[in-house]
Structure 1
Amino acid sequence: MKFKIDKFILSIIIVVLAAYLFPQLGGNSSPLPLAKIGSIGVSLIFFFYGLKLSPEKIKTGLRNWRLHLLVQTCTFLLFPLIILCFYPLIHSEYDKNIWLAFLFLAALPSTVSSSVVMVSMAKGNIPAAIFNASISGLIGIVVTPLWLGLFLNDTAASYDLGEIYTKLIIEVVVPVILGLLLHRFWGSLAQKYNSYLTLFDKSIILLIIYKSFCSSFEDKVFSGIDTLNFVFIAVAVLGLFYVVYFITGFVSNKLGFSTEDKITAQFCGTKKSLVHGTVFAKILFPNPSTMGIIILPIMLFHAFQIFVISFIAAHAGNRKELEFNSITD
């Protein structure tokens, strides 16, 4: 099987390198209004997200409730609980910042597009994948800030849960609702030009990443992360993925799920959204210099999940095809 380098991951690497070489263009003293452009872009991302959501499909998807409950429990409960187990190991401010970055990763919703694509490759339950990936983003608007609020209220004077939800309502909830209301009029156009909208989403995410890393490099936030620490973070991210993947598979077997439902549970229940990660970090962590360290684990997780799940999906898809051929021969 041949692997291609994901273009978006390659773009992220280039953007981070550009931020390292030219931090003055996106730093705190930059004359470019990148923060304002990012805020407007975030609202448009979620407007298009709502525009593409089909209320009818969401209603239909509620039927397979055990599968949905498992996926959302893994996404918003299992992930954070695993990270909470390591809270007693924190002994310094540096440790707490890294731990908070992992808690932020753990509290994020599932990604939409890649989950559905991978489930399709593996011949899983596609309608259930669409439902879970879509509803996960809506749940995350409420749940992600709650998880972070439990540990940021005593460490960050600027963290005000009321203010956070006000920003989320203005920049995220209102655009999503507006998109849902206009779905019946423009939903088909959104689906038709989905590739262009996806390109727009990724462009805004790259802009936010560039802005965040420019400020982080300017303020030398990464000065405490040497090669050994970076490798440790990468290994921890990969380990977190595999622990949740195997637990989800084990529970799926115990619940007697079909192969298709098990694939959907494992693929959707282990994914984390880089889109939500970058836009939520922009709201939850108003200090731009700290955003770089906060979104580092989710960037690594995004790369790993695409690589690992694509390999598993291709293998599962080939196996299903072989089973089908053996039946029809």
Structure 2
Amino acid sequence: MGWGRWRPDNFTLSLLATVALASLWPCRGEAARAFDLITDAAIALLFFLHGAKLPRAAIMQGMKHWRLHLCVFASTFVLFPLLGLALRPLGHALLTPELYLGVLFVCMLPSTVQSSIAFTSIAGGNVAAAVVSASMSNLLGIVLTPLLVGLLLASHGGGPSWHGVLYIVLQLLLPFVLGHVARRWIGGLVDRHKPLLGLTDQGTILLVVYSAFSAAVVGGLWRDTPLSALLATLAICALLLALVMPTLTWVARRLGFRREDEIAIVFCGSKKSMASGIPMARVLFAGHLGGLGALVLPLMIFHQLQLLVCAVVARRYAAQGLQPALEDSREAD
């Protein structure tokens, strides 16, 4: 078992390098304001390209698996937020207020797209359903995540006003809608250059992380956040996964879903999107820039943890799927 198996991917290393850069050389003053404008423009471009990427036919096709998608959406936008609220006493006891706010924000985010599809494929699940479910989750998340933030966080003294939420929804949704409308003209170009969209995703995340951590470091993030709170954040993120994944497995089996559909439900319903989450945090918590670094830290931790856990679960599903085939082969011999 070599180091290569456990070595972080290049994007994770880039994230860590960006956090280190912001910690050592944070952006300040006029440079920080100019950086903020560039970041806002990158976020608008990101949502525009995501709108251009999503085929309308995929949305229509997805309606055929409405029970599966309903399970995924219920997990993403109902189960996770309820668990986040249920963990409030633990979060307040072990975390700083910003870190708990970040954990609660993680619980309100849509599912990932790329990794949900990849792990569903590895495990031998319903890839087509995973594509549609994860894509629709991100589409709904543009509206539902800000609304959940307004409903849950504002009631706990941590979120933006309803007026701000409405403005945010329009700010995020408008580029997405314009991109989707423009798909008839630029859709082919976007489809041919999907790696460029991936670079836009990652580049925007790195911009937001650098800006957020710069403001947080200037505000005393590392001075005011104890190591025990960071370890507790890791433990709470692990607890969320430990609660959600077995629950989804149990629900899928109780509702009589096929094994392939169960796999899609488990992987799409247990993920949270960093690609959407960090840009959304930048817009949703524009008035909390001094604490934004701590707010996105739980999302970065959860993202890495979900990749590690889901890789193990996907391999286990794949091994279970191979077992009946091996038995049939032996019987045929």
What is the TM-score of this pair, normalised by structure 1? 0.91
> For residue 103 of structure 1, what is the aligned residue in structure 2?
104
Structure 2 residue 191 is the aligned partner of structure 1 residue 191: yes
Moved more, 221-230 or 44-53: 221-230
> For residue 300 of structure 2, what is the aligned residue in structure 1?
299
Pair 1:201–1:254, CA change in 2 (3 A): same
Distance 1:323 1:302 in 2: 33
Moved more, 82-91 or 49-58: 82-91
Is the contact between residue 80 and residue 108 of structure 2 (CA under 8 Å) also seen in structure 1?
yes
Distance 1:31 1:298 in 2: 23
Distance 2:146 2:22 in 1: 28
Is the contact between residue 168 and residue 283 of structure 1 (CA under 8 Å) also seen in structure 2?
no
The correspondence of residues 101-140 of structure 1 with structure 2, limited to 5 A, is: 101-140=102-141
Is the contact between residue 104 and residue 148 of structure 1 (CA under 8 Å) also seen in structure 2?
yes
Question: Which amino acid in 1 is paired with 2:236?
Answer: A
> For residue 269 of structure 2, what is the aligned residue in structure 1?
269
Structure 2 residue 71 is the aligned partner of structure 1 residue 70: yes
Is the contact between residue 102 and residue 297 of structure 2 (CA under 8 Å) also seen in structure 1?
yes
Distance 1:93 1:256 in 2: 39
The correspondence of residues 216-255 of structure 1 with structure 2, limited to 5 A, is: 216-255=216-255
Question: Which amino acid in 2 is paired with 1:14?
Answer: A
What is the deviation of 1:99?
A: 2.4
Moved more, 313-322 or 225-234: 313-322
3-state SS of 1:63 partner: helix
Pair 1:158–1:118, CA change in 2 (3 A): closer
Is the contact between residue 27 and residue 211 of structure 1 (CA under 8 Å) also seen in structure 2?
no
> For residue 9 of structure 1, what is the aligned residue in structure 2?
12
Higher helix fraction (1 or 2): 2
Q: Mind listing any 5+ residue stretches in structure 1 that lack a counterpart?
A: none
Is the contact between residue 92 and residue 100 of structure 2 (CA under 8 Å) also seen in structure 1?
no
Pair 1:93–1:266, CA change in 2 (3 A): closer
Pair 1:93–1:113, CA change in 2 (3 A): closer
Pair 1:143–1:296, CA change in 2 (3 A): same
Structure 2 residue 290 is the aligned partner of structure 1 residue 282: no
Pair 1:89–1:270, CA change in 2 (3 A): closer
Distance 2:32 2:282 in 1: 19
Pair 1:214–1:301, CA change in 2 (3 A): same
Pair 1:308–1:324, CA change in 2 (3 A): same
Pair 1:10–1:134, CA change in 2 (3 A): same
What is the deviation of 1:209?
A: 0.2
Pair 1:32–1:166, CA change in 2 (3 A): closer
Question: Which amino acid in 1 is paired with 2:201?
Answer: D
Is the contact between residue 48 and residue 190 of structure 1 (CA under 8 Å) also seen in structure 2?
yes
1:49-95 per-residue CA deviation (whole Å, 9 max, x = no partner) reads: 11111111211111111111110000010001011113355768974
Distance 1:211 1:75 in 2: 28
Is the contact between residue 28 and residue 215 of structure 1 (CA under 8 Å) also seen in structure 2?
no
Is the contact between residue 47 and residue 176 of structure 1 (CA under 8 Å) also seen in structure 2?
yes
> For residue 320 of structure 1, what is the aligned residue in structure 2?
321
Question: Which amino acid in 1 is paired with 2:314?
Answer: A
What is the deviation of 1:122?
A: 1.3
What is the deviation of 1:30?
A: 2.7
What is the deviation of 1:96?
A: 3.5
What is the deviation of 1:288?
A: 1.4
Q: Mind listing any 5+ residue stretches in structure 2 that lack a counterpart?
A: none
Question: Which amino acid in 2 is paired with 1:118?
Answer: F
- Determine what percentage of the aligned residue pairs are the same residue: 32
Pair 1:262–1:222, CA change in 2 (3 A): same
Pair 1:154–1:66, CA change in 2 (3 A): closer
Question: Which amino acid in 2 is paired with 1:210?
Answer: Y
Distance 1:131 1:64 in 2: 9
Is the contact between residue 122 and residue 313 of structure 1 (CA under 8 Å) also seen in structure 2?
yes
Is the contact between residue 145 and residue 161 of structure 1 (CA under 8 Å) also seen in structure 2?
no
Distance 1:93 1:314 in 2: 33
Moved more, 123-132 or 140-149: 140-149
Q: CA RMSD in A?
A: 2.3
> For residue 84 of structure 1, what is the aligned residue in structure 2?
85
3-state SS of 1:272 partner: coil
What is the deviation of 1:168?
A: 3.0
Question: Which amino acid in 2 is paired with 1:114?
Answer: S
Question: Which amino acid in 2 is paired with 1:73?
Answer: A
1:153-205 per-residue CA deviation (whole Å, 9 max, x = no partner) reads: 366698222233223313x2112112222223322321221012101210111
Is the contact between residue 123 and residue 315 of structure 2 (CA under 8 Å) also seen in structure 1?
yes
1:207-232 per-residue CA deviation (whole Å, 9 max, x = no partner) reads: 10011001101110342322222111
Distance 1:45 1:221 in 2: 28
